[in-house]
Amino acid sequence: MNRRENLKLLFTGSVGTGLLLTGCSPEEQAMPKQALLAGGTKGYRTDEERQRDQELLSETFFTDEERKKLGTLVDIIIPKDDESPSATEVNVVDFMEFMMKDQPNYQTRMRGGLMWLDYEAGEKFGKTFNELSNDQVIEIVDEVAWPDKAKPEYQGAVSWFNMVRDLTCSGYFSTEAGWKYLGYVGNTPNAWDGVPQEVMDKHGFKLDEKYVPIYLKPEERGTIAVWDDEGNLIG
Amino acid sequence: MSFQIKTSGEAYDVIIVGSGAGGGMASKILSEAGLTVAVIEAGGDFDPAKDEDRTQLRPPWESPRRGASTRIRPFGDFDAAIGGWDIDGEPYTHKNGTKFDWFRSRMVGGRTNHWGRISLRFGPNDFKRASIDGLGDDWPIGYDDLKPYYDKVDKLIGVFGSKEGIYNEPDGFFLPPPKPRLHELFLKKGADKANIPMIPGRLSMLTRPINEERGVCFFCRQCNRACQVYADFSSGTCLVHPAMKKGKVDLYTHSMVRKVTTDDNGKATGVSFVHKEDMKEYKLKSRVVVLGASACESARIMMNSKSKSHPNGIGGDSDALGRYLHDSTGSDRMGILPDLIDRERYNEDGVGGMHMYTPWWGDNKKLDFARGYHIEYWGGMTQPAYGTGGSMNSMRQYIKDEFGELSQNGGYGVGMKKDIRRLYGSTLGMSGRGESVPRYDNYCEIDPNVVDKYGIPVLRFNYNWTDQEILQAKHMHETFEEILTNAGATLLGTKPGPETNYGLLDPGKIIHEVGTTRMGKSAKGSVVNSNCQAHDCDNLFVVDAGPFVSQADKNPTWTILALSWRTSDYIVDQLKKKNI
């Protein structure tokens, strides 16, 4: 085997960037990838990405007490109704747990806000947040959930609650149940043939006559394109 | 066996550094001419047709972060470009407090795996800007030199569009364009009222097949994830891998090129590179070296290619290497369309980009800035993922309740949940992407004090926008507001003012950086000649966007492909004639 073939084998092999070569022949060096990736993002990943996902998934950020507080809040933000589940039913708190580690700039704000809940519960009711009744919880939530009419002293807590609301929505609408609730019907192979006629009619739109002859016709999607010398499609 | 640095051994005909649009095209054309080719790529191999590589059609719940961006995937967890503006162990630095963000992809196909596929030819004026407005320089070639290659690229790779007969937006060999989406029809209404043209997009997705090898678009709107049936253009799927199947092409992955090696006569002899697996140095030899590593990376390699015969690096005496760096300008605005609240649901994914766009329509002689911009449009019922339902603290006010009263921002509960559903698909917006004026004083150079983790000296950037770009951004926002308002939309956010350069994004953000090894007639003031051949090293060629004299208000990829094909033809010709 000449040098070029050696190099070619070495550099086109399946080894990823995370592995150091220690073996003697290129064949031996193509070690199987370690099975450390269960639970990370699917599809093409670098070894560094797999490693990182795995580490984040194995770490714990929230305490049980914090998880309980968040469980209460996310189900107030997105409760169950007759068409769809609640936020905790689609594991929104687990999603938040991951995001705290994935984007650590969330951590201080989130933890600070969850601590503030106990302060506020103590001031108002002499209890911790997790000991409050539903009505008492709502009383606190109402102080922070309406940014345009919140009292100025709640400004910091309002901004924290905005973050909790945003994360709850992200975690909810990125699930199968969330897609179903929103009525999203994409992400599937199809042949786009324009806006449905009834929707065009409702909004008073008609296709520009000039382009009607050249728009893609779904029935021609199987025919290989042929042009004349002027760039006109002739087949 | 241990791998020592060897300088002997048989040589390739051509070594190509980089596997993006430029390197990919060169690998195809040069190997089809019967030459032996080595493609050196700093990242790993990638093939979206393999199920384990596929991110297309994956729902957000297959990502623990639900598709949110990460450091190496700034466009989201399923985006196909690996790298980003901030790569671990591969720093770059800045000078004089200026900003430049450098986006790199480390993988076969490079940034073509995720790009917007906006495939616009440069027009006749785009090669002669200095003659028109007195700024910058003309290209040493014109549209007529590249037209045959644009034609060939259209047929080889495929682009949809409409023949419009606009002088500086040349028509090509187009596939049928897809019909517009609903928000695009509203925006067209707004553009019509403002007398601004809006025409079918020109994107390189196969609405019809062009050969037996590649599939046809099935409208999932996820071209940024790379297509498993190869219905969009990526260099890996459409150029590099097919070239490897047909010709004598060896692909070296995870290989970071340090320098081009040269002999005592100043001719290139090959490259020296670090392999990322074992962090050892390797050398390969060739008769010709082709750089397609991206404008800045290729300039960096040339600067680092110092030797006895090139003490300042290859092209280092040109007073142009690294200079005239310029990116497209960019600024964005969005609105909400009350007519689209509570809209009907249907699959409106379409292709992974806009079905309609606005080419530059203005007359700069009547404006207070020199160069134009095109407008890209976005909106509609996109895939819900990380971020969906966000900002109800500011967005809920646009919803009317059952009594016709505007809702309160914020809140919680079933009512808010319903409002998110009502708002879904009602926001839309646009992005201006414009031409900047190339400047001698905007440059990258070697930072004398910093190396990357492979011990290779890194780039240091110096870049300032001028009034030309800032006033152009101001004009963009006036246009955006006019179109959005005419379309019936309520503007979101505020119009940016002079304190933010009218919303002009930092240079590098649009990822159209070009000009660092620009072409020209003289070895002083340009790095390569009109055939993209280095003035001071005749068997070294550059096939990325480095040779661009000016970056038009178009996306650069189609011109990179056409230029690379032309350069490759020239290389074959010169080898035949034994001139190199």
Domain ranges of chain B: 1-56+70-89+102-115+235-324+516-580
**Contacts B82 to A, Cβ<8 Å:** 44, 46
- Say if the Cβ atoms of B64 and A40 lie within 8 Å: yes
Which residues have a Cβ under 8 Å from the Cβ of A73 and sit 6 or more positions away? A141, A164, A168
- Sequence ranges of the domains in chain A: 64-182
- Say if the Cβ atoms of B63 and A184 lie within 8 Å: no
Residue in A77, A183, A225 nearest the CB of B345? A183
**pLDDT attached to residue B9:** 58
**pLDDT attached to residue A1:** 41
**Contacts B163 to A, Cβ<8 Å:** 231-232
Residue with tokens 């000009």: B515
Query: Pick from A64, A79, A56, A66: which is nearest to A168 by CA?
Result: A79
Per-residue pLDDT tens digits for B381-439: 999 999 999 999 999 999 988 788 889 999 999 999 999 999 999 999 999 999 999 99
**Contacts B393 to A, Cβ<8 Å:** 147, 158, 162, 165
Beta strands, E only, B9-82: 12-17, 37-40
Task: Give the distance from residue B468's alpha carbon to the nearest chain A alpha carbon, in angstroms.
Answer: 36
**Contacts A175 to B, Cβ<8 Å:** 60-61
Q: How confident is the model at residue A38 (pLDDT cuts 50, 70, 90)?
A: low
- Say if the Cβ atoms of B171 and A231 lie within 8 Å: yes
H-only helix segments in A21-154 = 26-29, 47-58, 64-77, 92-102, 107-125, 134-144
- Say if the Cβ atoms of A192 and B44 lie within 8 Å: no
* Nearest Cα residue in chain A from B87: A48
Dist CA B527 CA B515 (whole Å): 10
Q: How many CA atoms lie within 13 A of B547 on its CB side?
A: 32
User: pLDDT at residue B8 above 70?
Assistant: no
Residue in B6, B216, B411 nearest the CB of A3? B6
Task: Give the distance from residue A165's alpha carbon to the nearest chain B alpha carbon, in angstroms.
Answer: 7
Contact between A72 and A89 (Cβ < 8 Å): no
Average pLDDT over residues A17-21: 36
**pLDDT attached to residue B59:** 96
- Say if the Cβ atoms of A216 and B350 lie within 8 Å: no
φ, ψ dihedrals at B460, nearest 5°: -125, 130
**Contacts A227 to B, Cβ<8 Å:** 155, 173
Name the packing angle between helices B143-157 and B557-576 (round to 10°). 100
Alpha carbon separation from B580 to A231, B248, B298, B519 (Å, rounded): 36, 20, 21, 19
What's the mean pLDDT when you consider all of chain B? 96
**pLDDT attached to residue B193:** 98
Q: Is the ipTM of this complex over 0.90?
A: yes
- What percent of chain B is modeled with pLDDT above 70? 98
φ, ψ dihedrals at B149, nearest 5°: -75, -40
H-only helix segments in B358-431 = 392-395, 413-423
- Say if the Cβ atoms of A43 and B179 lie within 8 Å: no
Q: How confident is the model at residue A15 (pLDDT cuts 50, 70, 90)?
A: very low
**pLDDT attached to residue B404:** 85
Which residues have a Cβ under 8 Å from the Cβ of B337 and sit 6 or more positions away? B183, B186, B379, B426, B427, B428, B487, B488, B489, B490
Six-digit token pair at B215?
């599939």
φ, ψ dihedrals at B552, nearest 5°: -65, 180
- Burial class, B317, CB count within 10 angstroms (exposed 0-12 / middle 13-18 / buried 19+): middle
Looking at residue B578, what DSSP letter applies? T
Contact between B469 and B403 (Cβ < 8 Å): no
- Say if the Cβ atoms of B208 and A199 lie within 8 Å: no
**Contacts A171 to B, Cβ<8 Å:** 66
3 state DSSP class of B255? strand
**Contacts B60 to A, Cβ<8 Å:** 174-175
- Say if the Cβ atoms of A187 and B220 lie within 8 Å: yes
The CATH number of the domain covering residues in B1-56+70-89+102-115+235-324+516-580? 3.50.50.60
Contact between A53 and B71 (Cβ < 8 Å): no
Which residues have a Cβ under 8 Å from the Cβ of A94 and sit 6 or more positions away? none
Six-digit token pair at B526?
């340009």
Dist CA A215 CA B500 (whole Å): 41
3 state DSSP class of B238? helix
Query: Pick from B447, B88, B93, B112: which is nearest to B276 by CA?
Result: B88
Residue in B173, B207, B392 nearest the CB of A165? B392
What's the mean pLDDT when you consider all of chain A? 88
- Say if the Cβ atoms of A102 and B344 lie within 8 Å: no
- Burial class, A183, CB count within 10 angstroms (exposed 0-12 / middle 13-18 / buried 19+): middle
